């Protein structure tokens, strides 16, 4: 049996599989602490759930326009103008089945075989796989921990070739927690304008910024930047709606149209009930978000302090999202029992086996000196999990 050679080269999403493993172990009664989860632990706010019930009562249970209802696309336009200072019309918006699907459609719409996509490293693990699925080539640009894993315009320029088609900018970033300033964005945007490639701006963690940082949408810088940018966002992280599967893209009409055609033959419209509830969510005051952000902020500080107090481990205090990249490189060469630690996979394996704590090995993000911990879990879980990590480190020989 011969399967598609291209698609056999696509790996499973390790973030999803680690999360699934932790959830399964928990349901089987194991005392596991899951730091793998990339999803808020809060329930979806009540008024959004109520809106979904209203949609059902109103019989909104049929196909909608494939690219999303006008009502939701209008609500997204208002949100982008109000929060992000970018003006779009509904025909410049497409709603998809989660931001992951938005990104998939973008790569399908933009890339020809061999087109290069610049991806800052460490990167969210789905980008290179999506580029591969669209016959593109990922070009990784290394970043430095002491620059909070942010690319600079200088390092970006070195990676540009005549085949460069796009840059993926994840701001705030998963897994790094970095947030770009206006000045940094201006320099990056200028390079994209000068060399003529697209910017795919993944802003799914927009609402989760700390220490007074302000999230800036790169498309808001000026009209030239807006014309080459696809802004991606969604309901999953800001509204704790991971299971509802609503994401969206704003960008030039011609690209949105191609994405819409692809979507019309692959998935049709995103769920009608979730679309209705998302429009209600986007039009409402954002109090429900600020409560979550305050809680994430407390956990972030606690987790970073604890990590930095444990010998052989260290981290930067992230400025956004809900992840910490924990530097584990000083543990390499040590052993836990008969297990030799020589990279993020062996570290994560030994930690799970001995302490029942799941983390995501950094190698999945192109950063083997790190493991990623999510603080989208309760404070109590974080405390317990870090106690276990501390014990693990004490037992290394």
Give the residue nearest to ligand PMP (CB): 98
Q: Does 204 participate in binding ligand PMP (rule CB under 6 A)?
A: yes
Which of these, 131, 104, 126, 133, lies nearest to 267 by C-alpha position?
104
* Residue number, 15 or 143, with CB nearest to ligand GLU: 15
Q: Where are the beta strands (DSSP E) in 175-312?
A: 198-202, 229-234, 247-250
The Cα 125–Cα 106 span in angstroms is: 16
Is the CB of residue 213 less than 8 Å from the CB of residue 173? no
**What, of ligand PMP, ligand GLU, none, does residue 92 touch, CB below 5 to 8 Å by kind?**
none
* Residue number, 88 or 123, with CB nearest to ligand GLU: 123
For 335, the token pair is 């052993």
**What, of ligand GLU, ligand PMP, none, does residue 247 touch, CB below 5 to 8 Å by kind?**
ligand PMP
Least distance from C-beta 379 to ligand GLU, angstroms?
20
Burial of 292 (0-12, 13-18, 19+ CB in 10 A): buried
**What, of ligand GLU, ligand PMP, none, does residue 263 touch, CB below 5 to 8 Å by kind?**
none
Q: Does 360 participate in binding ligand PMP (rule CB under 6 A)?
A: no
Region for residue 168 given its phi and psi (left: phi exceeds 0; alpha: psi -120 to 50; beta: otherwise)? beta
Is the CB of residue 203 less than 8 Å from the CB of residue 250? no
Residues making up the chain, counted from first to last:
397
For 4, the token pair is 């598609």
* Residue number, 98 or 260, with CB nearest to ligand PMP: 98
Which of positions 239-278 make contact with ligand PMP (CB under 6 A)? Answer: 242, 247
Considering only residues 99, 131, 156, 376, which one is a binding residue for ligand PMP as defined by CB under 6 A?
99
* Residue number, 39 or 395, with CB nearest to ligand GLU: 39
Which of these, 78, 99, 98, 101, lies nearest to 88 by C-alpha position?
78
Kindly report the backbone phi and psi dihedral angles of residue 68, in degrees, each rounded to the nearest multiple of 5, phi listed first. Answer: 110, 155
The Cα 295–Cα 314 span in angstroms is: 22
Q: Does 331 participate in binding ligand PMP (rule CB under 6 A)?
A: no
Q: Interface mask (CB under 6 A) for ligand PMP, residues 24-63, using x and -?
A: --------------x-------------------------
DSSP 118-163: EEEES--THHHHHHHHTT-EEEEEE--GGGTT---HHHHHHH--TT
For 378, the token pair is 């309760």
User: Hunting for tokens 């701001």 — which residue is that?
Assistant: 171
**What, of ligand PMP, ligand GLU, none, does residue 16 touch, CB below 5 to 8 Å by kind?**
ligand GLU
* Residue number, 13 or 266, with CB nearest to ligand GLU: 13
* Residue number, 40 or 90, with CB nearest to ligand PMP: 40
Binding stretches for ligand GLU (CB under 6 A):
13, 15-16, 38-39, 100, 126, 174
Q: Does 354 participate in binding ligand PMP (rule CB under 6 A)?
A: no
* Residue number, 66 or 126, with CB nearest to ligand PMP: 126
**3-class state of residue 164 by DSSP:** strand
**What, of ligand PMP, ligand GLU, none, does residue 13 touch, CB below 5 to 8 Å by kind?**
ligand GLU
- Give me the residues that bind ligand PMP (CB under 6 A), please: 38, 98-100, 124, 170, 174, 202, 204, 234, 236, 242, 247
């Amino acid at each position: 049996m011969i399967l598609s050679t291209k698609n056999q080269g696509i790996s499973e999403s390790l973030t999803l599989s680690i999360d699934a493993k932790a959830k399964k172990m928990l349901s089987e009664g194991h005392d596991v602490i899951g730091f793998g989860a990339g999803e808020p632990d809060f329930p979806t706010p009540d008024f959004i759930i109520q809106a979904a019930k209203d949609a059902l009562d109103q019989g909104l249970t049929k196909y909608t326009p494939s690219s999303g209802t006008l009502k939701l696309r209008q609500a997204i336009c208002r949100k982008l103008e109000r929060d992000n200072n970018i003006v779009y019309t509904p025909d410049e918006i497409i709603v998809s089945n989660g931001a992951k699907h938005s990104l998939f459609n973008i790569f399908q719409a933009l890339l020809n075989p061999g087109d290069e996509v610049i991806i800052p490293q460490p990167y969210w693990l789905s980008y290179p796989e999506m580029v591969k699925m669209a016959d593109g080539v990922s070009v990784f640009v290394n970043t430095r921990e002491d620059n909070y894993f942010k690319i600079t315009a200088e390092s970006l320029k070195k990676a540009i070739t005549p085949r460069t088609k796009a840059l993926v900018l994840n701001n705030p970033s998963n897994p790094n927690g970095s947030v770009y300033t206006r000045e940094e964005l201006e320099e990056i945007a200028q390079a994209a304008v000068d060399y003529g490639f697209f910017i795919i701006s993944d802003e799914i963690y927009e609402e989760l910024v700390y220490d007074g940082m302000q999230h800036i949408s790169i498309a808001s810088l000026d009209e030239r930047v807006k014309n080459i940018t696809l802004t991606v966002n969604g309901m999953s992280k800001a509204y704790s709606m991971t299971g509802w599967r609503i994401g969206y893209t704003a960008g030039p009409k011609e690209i949105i149209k191609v994405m819409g055609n692809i979507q019309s033959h692959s998935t049709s419209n995103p769920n009608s009930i979730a679309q209705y509830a998302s429009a209600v969510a986007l039009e409402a005051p954002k109090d429900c978000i600020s409560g979550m952000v305050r809680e994430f902020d407390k956990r972030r500080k606690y987790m970073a302090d604890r990590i930095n107090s444990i010998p052989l481990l260290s981290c930067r205090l992230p400025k956004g999202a809900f992840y910490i990249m924990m530097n584990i490189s000083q543990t390499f060469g040590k052993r836990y029992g008969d297990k030799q630690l020589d990279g993020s996979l062996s570290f994560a394996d030994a930690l799970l086996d001995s302490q029942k704590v799941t983390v995501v090995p950094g190698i999945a993000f192109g950063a083997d000196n790190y493991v990623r911990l999510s603080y989208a879990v309760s404070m109590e879980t974080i405390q317990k999990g870090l106690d276990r990590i501390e014990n693990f480190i004490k037992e290394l020989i």
